[in-house]
Amino acid sequence: HPEFVDGQYALYTRPQDGFISVGSGGGIGWGLTRSMENAEVKEEVIVDSKVYHTIKEVKNGQGPAPIKTKKGWLHLAHGVRNTAAGLRYVLYLFLTSLERPWEITHAPAGHFIAPEDEERVGDVSNVVFSNGWIARENGDVFIYYGSSDTRMHVAVSTVDRLLDYVQNTPPDGLRSAASVQSRIELIEKNIRFLKNASL
Cα gap 61→191, rounded to integer Å: 36
CATH of the domain at 94: 2.115.10.20
Structural domain includes residue 113: yes
Structural domain includes residue 38: no
Return the SS3 of 175.
coil
Domain holding 80, by residue range, is 51-168
Instruction: Kindly state the percentage of the chain with pLDDT values over 90.
Output: 76
Structural domain includes residue 46: no
Structural domain includes residue 155: yes
Structural domain includes residue 110: yes
Cα gap 11→31, rounded to integer Å: 5
Q: Which residues of 123-140 are buried (b: 16+ CB within 10 A; e: fewer)?
A: eebbbbbbeebebeeeee
Give the burial class of 21: count Cβ atoms within 10 A of its Cβ; 0-12 exposed, 13-18 middle, 19 or more buried. exposed
What is the pTM (predicted TM-score) of this model?
Answer: 0.88
Structural domain includes residue 22: no
Give tens-digit pLDDT for 54-94: 999 999 999 999 999 999 999 999 999 999 889 999 999 99
Structural domain includes residue 41: no
Structural domain includes residue 9: no
Give tens-digit pLDDT for 22-57: 444 679 999 999 999 999 998 999 999 999 889 999
Specify the number of domains making up the chain: 1
Instruction: Kindly state the percentage of the chain with pLDDT values over 70.
Output: 95
Q: Return the number of other C-beta atoms located less than 10 Å from residue 66's C-beta.
A: 23
Q: Are 156 and 141 spatial neighbours (Cβ–Cβ below 8 Å)?
A: yes
